[in-house]
Every structure is written in C-alpha cells, then in structure tokens.
Structure 1
C-alpha cells in the first residue's frame, strides 16, 4: 500500500466527518472515504513546457460526471474504473480530461456555503486516482454545470457578486482537496461558458465580458496558488474566451489576458485551452434532414480550404500563446455522427488532421468522446481506423 495514498484516504475520511457535521444530507453521505486506486503521490516540479510534451494524445470522459441531466454519478455511461483508464492508456492516450458538473453534488442555494458533499468529492477523487494509476495526465475542470455562469453577466450587481462567491467557494474546496496530489493532475478553471456566461443577454458589453473573464481567470489562479503545497507549482489550464480561438486571440484588440502568476515567463506554469468544432455545421449537427446551423458544409470536410482554415486558426494560437510561453490544449474536438449512427464523409480525416497538426505545433488535443469512439466497456475502438490515428 502506498503510504501517500493511505494518508490521502485518512484525510478524506476526516473531511467527510467535517462535511457531515456541517449539514450534508444523510441520504448523500454515502462513502466515508474515497476508494482510491494505488498511485504514486510523489510530486515532481515541472513547467508547462515540459508537461505539454508528456500529455500526448488526450481524450474526454464525456457525458459522465458533467451529465447534469442524470442523478447517476457516471451519467448513465459505463461506470468509470481503473480498468477503463488502463484501456485508454493502451489505446494510445496519455491524458484524459474529466469534465465535472459540481452542482450535482453540492449546496447550490444563494447565500449557502456552496459545500461540495463528501460522496461527490470522493467519487471525483476515485476517478482521478484511476487515471493517475494508469499513468495518465488528468485535466479536472468545472463544466457547464446547469448554467449558473449566467450570473456573471446579470444586470443585478448583487447576483454577480454572489456568482463570484460561488466560484470562489467551489475552487477553494477543490484546490484544498487536491493540494497534495502529483503534478499529473492539472486544474482547469472553466469551460465554454467563460466569456459568454451561458447566455446571450445580460447587461454587459463585449468589453465588459472580456474584463469579467480576465477577473475570473485571475481569481482561479490566485485561489489555487494560495492553497499551498503542490498547488504552488502545479500547472493550471486557463480557459480561453468561450474557448473559441478567434475570440480568445481577439486580434486587433487583445482584450483577453492571461492571468498573472507567481512564476516567471521562463518558468511558466499556465496553459491555455480552446475547443475546435469548425465548421460547426459539419462537426456539431447530427440530423441530415434538418438544415445546417451555419453555412453549407454539413455533409463533408477535407477540402484545401477546410484544412487551410484549421491550420490558420491553430497557428493563431501558436503565435498568440505557445510562442509566448503558454502551451495550447485543444480541450475538445469531435465530429458528431449522423443520427443513424453512420459516420459523415471524411470524419477520420478531420480527427486525424487535428491530431497531426497538434503534434506538429506542439499542442495537446483531447477528443470529445461519449463512448462513441472508444468503447469503455469492451476496451476497444469502435472504428478500426482510429487505432492508427491515436497510436503513439
């Protein structure tokens, strides 16, 4: 038994008692301690530049712990296990992103302590431990989470302050719980909601939304760093504005700013995350009988113009961030199937081009997968072509 793991389990048991005494519902107090897989808790001090080289191909544990529509902690997906994470490693992945909707297991009433319940924190810890035990890097985030992010753009300043208090409470707890965990755990402060705040209304101008976005990212860094121990040097992932490449680069205005940090530029511990679903009507629409959301490129991808557009956008990220010391993670990309389950034309070309271009530019790209590409039960690819794309 790993002595570091034993200590982590004991600390979890203590925190469980504290949370229960603070009013955790008895029906939710479930496990008194997390059933962690045995992994090496040794922390190795690494810069973001070193970490990005080791993250390799990445994937998402999609529609699982962020599945707000399901009371099941695994969102109705196959139950996440150590065996599953070992399968991902064998399939060619070296990193996994674990999206989490924390509101599924915490106090959410305005004015509450926003306490994360023990049973939920324990399950998150278990899943993270499985990935670390399988020698995977882990990105742990705050995902869509039922849209409470819209409070950051509310016309009522009191609502906006309460929304920030919720964000602070959430990350204070997460940072404390994982402060002693190894460097292969990367914390990501937000998701696509950052900047857009889950709504197209609100009282903020575009300039004000960028300002609030920068404030949120700075708060994230400050909270994690102030929690001490390994979090002082842990690599953190900063979500771009709406995780959109064009909006994050914001060329000509540069309103998006990377947070300040205690680490110097040549010792940077921050990375930047954006998503890639371009063109959206090809990547995101799965009903061939409905009109495309945008444009006309629903059925196929792979023209010279398509490939050039991907290179242009990825190069923007390299110029604006990688070349300035902030490695880039493509936190999500995918092509949604047709509604009958068959693949769109040149889907494999799209996925393969994201992977190959990411490797060329020094990015880590993380496939959005809800059991569609890698079969988490059978521990195999659902399509033979994927083996070559994601092989090391």
Structure 2
C-alpha cells in the first residue's frame, strides 16, 4: 500500500478510537510501578536549563526528534529535561512565560512522549538564581514560583500521564531562614497548584526533592514528613548522587574507588531504601555521575570509574531505585549519537541488568629496567564466575599463560615477555578478563620506568613541569611547605584536586600547575610537590613563587 494511503488509514483508525499513537500509551496505575518502568533514565543537561538566550547557549546542539529516538534506542526509558525559567519570564506581577519558549518546550516534550519515553520537567537553575533568596524575599519568591507553576501546569494539563513534574532542582536557601520549613512551603504550594489545575494533573506523578537533593538522613526525614502530610499516592522522592566527594573530584587522596568510597555509596542507598522505598514511596535519583566529569571524564582513572558505575547500577537494582544519568553533553555525542567513552556506556548499560567482574586495577605495570617476573592481581568477582583470559579473540592458556587461585590471577612471566615485546614505554597489550556475565574487564599491560622531571620557569598563569612520563600515568599530587603544612587550595589536605590545581599532558610531556593553585601559595615560600603515579612511583619537585614569577627545580 502506498505510504500516503497507509498514513490516511492510520489517521482514520485513530479517529475511530481503534488505534492510539505511541504518545497516548497509558502509564502504570501506581507511582511505584511507573517509577520502575522509568528505569533507566537520562538527563538532557545544559540545554533547556542553560541560562543563555536559548537551548544552544551552553554549547549543545538544538534538540531534534532523532536525538530523542536515539536516546530511547540506547536503552533509556525516561528522560529528564531540566528547565531554567528566569530568562523567559516577563515582569512582575504576572511573570508571563515567553510563549515561544514554552511552545518549544512543549514540542520537545511531545516528541519524547511520542517516542515512548517518560518525561520529567522541572524548575532548575532558578533554585540558586532567585529561589534561594526566599529567607529575605519570601513573598516575591513565592509569587514568582507560583506564577511559573500555574502556567506550566496549565500548559501540560492534558499531557500524557507519562509526563512527570519535578518541583525544583537542588533546593537551597541563603542564610537567615528555616530551610526545612521554606522547602516544605514551596513543595506544598507546588502540589496545590498542580492538583488544582485539574485534567490529568489531578493524578499526575509529582517529584519532590530533599533539601540540596542530599541523601543525608536529616533531609530524607524532612521530606518524608512532607510526603506524609500531603497524603497523596502519586508522589515520588528524589535525591542526587555524585559519590564520595574526595573520589568524585579526585582530591584528598581519594583517587581509588576504595572501601571508604564504596561504603559511602552503600550507606546512601540503604538510607533511601529504608526511609522511602520500604514505606511504598518510590525514589528517583534524578542525577548521578562523578563531579570531576564537569572538567574531564579523565579526572577519575578509567578502571576506578568503571568500578564506581558497576556497583552503582547493582545498588539501584537491589534497592529498587530508578536512576537518571547526568549528561551535559560530555557522554552522548548528540550529533553523532555515539558515546564518547564506549567502555563507560557498556558498563552502565550492563549494570542495569546484572553484575560484572572487575579487578583491583585495569593497569598492570612492569618496569622496563627490571627483569620480567610473574604478576598477580586481585579479582573482584562480584558474584560472577571467571571464565578466561583473552588477548583479542584468542583465549590464553590456563597453566602456561596464567593461573588462578580464588580471587588471585597470576600472569606468568612467559606471557608477559611476549606481551611486552621490545620493552618500549606505554601500553603494550590490552587483555580481556571474561566472566560468566556482565562486561569483560580490560587489563592494560604497560612498560614503564620512573618518570623524570626537569627545571622550569614560568608564571602563576602559565607554569608547566617538563615531564618524561616514561610510560607511567599520574594519579595525584601533594603540596607541602617546609614546615609540613599544606600548600595551595583546600589546605586541609596535602592532596590537591586533579584538573583544578594540576593536570598532566602526556602528549606534550608536561604537568601544568594552574592559576588556582598559585593563587593560594605563599609568596617566596618553597613548596614541595610529590607526584604520585599509578605504578606506585613517586617523584618530588619544588616550586617557588615570587610575585607572578614561578621557578621550579627537580
């Protein structure tokens, strides 16, 4: 049948009520069932929440229906569309939303619904732009907030029940008020406005955040009290999760996903489960990721990063929490619809269904200046079964190439000699550790020697340490004065923040020290830097600031 006749027939059938478009699909009847159906979710970050003139002002392309279909095809079932309203509002007292901006949002929401996705929209950066002034401008803030939600509720009154409304992103308030009471007041106003607007809003799912969207118990308890007081079965609690802070930004020696970072994650999920899920209140982690991603996804070493996301996915599954990946454009290339870090996406996607085996590291170093000997690494089986070690598609031989005893995997010296070849620096081979489920673990076999650094001069805005990395990789850096006190920003720790205060450039052969670092270094006081590498090697270096001039010595 020709395409135009098929289309006409479909329109006729829908008009008779015999067929519904995908956007008209009914949502599950309970909040818990709907939230389960939303897993997994994805954020359209830095787009409608951008504070510039339009959705492209923060560097992302204009949203297309093809992008939304691509997000669905990547396995996501829901999409969060953060919206900052302040730049689209008219003057008080009406605070009329720019019709063009509202129509554009409705268009994109409609596309997403038609693609079968659940959609969440909110009030986003307004939280820190003006809502936070509520302690000193109570009536003005409440009036503006009320005006926004009154208009938004009316605009989406009859939208699919798969559209979900979130009251405010990361609520926060300036000093001087009762934060818990202020948030409860906003939440109650939001609930009343939406419910009183009628239509499908009478039972639309509403998402309510904790203060700061924090999972600290005090904030969870405050929100639980508000939810109980509202006595509404169509409410959802939300928090955000960016991990144990030192690990999330690589500071204070937190460059490994160690027991402390793991326990912080486990505690978060347990508190959320006990406070809400166990009481029949569904939970969405509306944003998750690592804070260091805002500068570079390389701020956290690849293997440590993958272990974080593997455990996060498992915890979400066992605690029945829906998660929405924060993506401001650094993960999914929105034009090519490809992942900038395919291994990260593979790990995240696998974690939606099952666990994966990992290992203590994805880096196996052998010093070029030392004889090649057996190397043993510890496996994290995570309940999986180890099935073999591979080089590409070739299965390596158990016994002659490697041995395994429990969680100890030993690569034999004969195998390493083959892999290391001419002993030149860098990654010589990448092996695949396979398990009976989940994604394989990549193990990079490297040849290295202890890095060397050279004298240098520069300025506080442009200083680099000439570095021969010799196949090694930088993990972290400490900075101390002669008396042992800590130098540079965050002087409560010797370990400085990766990318904010220092950053390696392996191609250029340098380690840059940033203006932020020198801004908090005492003039004429020598600072001893210790560069700590993933091989375990350490190298010291001294820098002295004299005004805007910096001198570095090895």
Q: TM-score, normalised by structure 2?
A: 0.56
2:94 — aligned with what?
Answer: 113
Q: 5+ residue gaps in structure 2?
A: 1-6, 16-20, 353-554
Distance 2:31 2:296 in 1: 42
Runs of 4+ in 1 over 6 A off after TM superposition: none
Question: Is 1:366 the equivalent of 2:324?
Answer: yes
Counterpart-to-counterpart distance in 2, 1:52 and 1:373: 24
Q: Distance in 2 between matches of 1:238 and 1:244?
A: 12
Whether 2:166 is the aligned partner of 1:211: answer: no
Shift of 1:339: 4.5
Alignment map for 1:82-97 (pairs within 5 Å):
82-97=65-80
Whether the aligned pair in 2 keeps the contact of 1:235 and 1:270 (CA below 8 Å) is yes
CA apart distance, 1:131: 1.4
Q: 1:59 aligns with which of 42, 60, 68?
A: 42
Q: Deviations over 1:205-247 (max 9, x none)?
A: xxx2111111111111111111101011111100111100105
Distance 2:87 2:134 in 1: 20
Is 240-249 or 230-239 further displaced after alignment?
Answer: 240-249
Pair 1:337-2:293 in alignment: yes
Secondary structure of the residue that 2:24 maps to in structure 1?
coil
Residue correspondence of structure 1 range 340-351 to structure 2 within 5 A: 342-345=298-301, 346-351=304-309
The partner residue of 1:165 within 143, 146, 152 is: 143
Per the alignment, residue 187 of structure 1 pairs with 165
Q: Distance in 2 between matches of 1:254 and 1:40?
A: 32
**What is aligned with 2:156?**
178
Matching of residue 257 in structure 1 with residue 226 in structure 2: yes
Q: CA deviation at 1:78?
A: 1.6
Contact 1:128 1:138 in 2 (8 A): yes
Displacement of 1:376 in angstroms is 1.1
Structure 1 or 2: more strand by fraction: 2
Larger Rg: 1 or 2? 2
Cα–Cα, structure 1 residues 141 and 124, in superposed 2: closer, same or farther, change >3 Å? same
Contact 1:240 1:272 in 2 (8 A): yes
For 1:45 and 1:177, how far apart are their aligned partners in 2? 23
In structure 1, distance between residues paired with 2:28 and 2:75: 25
User: In 2, distance between residues paired with 1:316 and 1:61?
Assistant: 28
Contact in 2 for aligned 1:52/1:362 (Cα 8 Å): no
CA distance in 2, matches of 1:215, 1:171: 14
Displacement of 1:97: 0.6
TM-score (normalizing by structure 1): 0.78
The alpha-carbon distance between structure 1 residues 371 and 165, as it changes in their structure 2 partners (threshold 3 A), is: same
Q: Which residue of 2 aligns with 1:125?
A: 106
Secondary structure of the equivalent of 2:159? coil
* CA apart distance, 1:94: 0.8
Return the offset for 1:368: 0.8
Change (3 A) 1:48 1:78: same
Instruction: Tell me the residue number matched to 1:74.
Output: 56
2:274 alignment counterpart: 319
C-alpha distance in structure 2 between counterparts of 1:339 and 1:212, whole Å = 33
Q: What is the aligned length?
A: 330
State the shift of 1:249 in Å: 4.1
Q: Distance in 2 between matches of 1:79 and 1:248?
A: 40
Residue 191 of structure 1 and its aligned partner are, at CA, apart by 0.9
CA RMSD of aligned residues (A): 2.5
CA contact (8 A) 1:218 1:260 kept: no
1:276–1:62 distance in 2 versus 1, CA, 3 Å: same
Structure 1, unmatched stretches of 5+, are 8-37
